[in-house]
Amino acid sequence: MAAEILRLDGLSKSFFGVEVLHAVSFALHRGEILGLVGENGSGKSTTMNILGGIHQADAGSITLDGRPYRPTGPRDAQEAGLAFIHQELNLFENLSIEENIFISGFPRRLGRLPLIDRGRIGQRTRELLDMVD
């Protein structure tokens, strides 16, 4: 089995006295892709917001690459190499798959003019789709 890169042990969180996350535990190993699936209100977003430094856990621990991980803000997550794909219910139907993937920032060609590097967009899109195929 590949090396463990992320472990959550007994993660819990309450808001205004209401427990929204109860003792969540799981491990992620190098090369795995993990999806959190559940009903609305089941704690998926809260778990991701704790990992992303938006919220602090009330109990439990997180280990990242074998070291304790307790982010105090989104920058901590970014510096640790964590990134998230947030649930989006709608795509831009008038855009291609490539354009939807890169809507938050298109690769640019080097130089003075802010030209979009369409070749790089296509190449990177294929790389990303191959990772989840």
Look up the CATH number of the domain holding residue 40: 3.40.50.300
Asked, for residue 52, whether it belongs to a domain, the answer is yes
Residues 66 and 101 in one domain: no
How does pLDDT run across 106-130, given as a tens digit for each residue?
Answer: 666 666 666 777 788 888 888 888 8
User: Which of 52, 79, 106 finishes a domain?
Assistant: 79
Residues 65 and 103 in one domain: no
Residue found by looking up tokens 């939807």 in the block: 100
Q: DSSP for 32-71? A: --------TTSSHHHHHHHHTTSS--SEEEEEETTEE---
Residue found by looking up tokens 């704790």 in the block: 50
Residues 15 and 57 in one domain: yes
Domain enclosing residue 67, as ranges: 4-79
Residue 36 confidence (pLDDT) above 80? yes
d(Cα 40, Cα 113) in Å, to the nearest integer?
45
pTM over cut 0.85: no
Average pLDDT of span 14-41: 92
d(Cα 36, Cα 49) in Å, to the nearest integer?
13
pLDDT at 109 (0 to 100): 63
Q: How many domains does the chain have?
A: 2
Residues 103 and 63 in one domain: no
Residues 63 and 118 in one domain: no
Residue 89 confidence (pLDDT) above 70? no
How does pLDDT run across 60-71, given as a tens digit for each residue?
Answer: 999 999 999 999
More confident residue, 47 or 108: 47
Residues 34 and 67 in one domain: yes
d(Cα 32, Cα 93) in Å, to the nearest integer?
30
Q: Which residues pair with 27 in a beta bridge?
A: 7
Residue 18 confidence (pLDDT) above 90? yes
Residues 18 and 55 in one domain: yes
Split at pLDDT 50, 70, 90, the class of 5 is very high
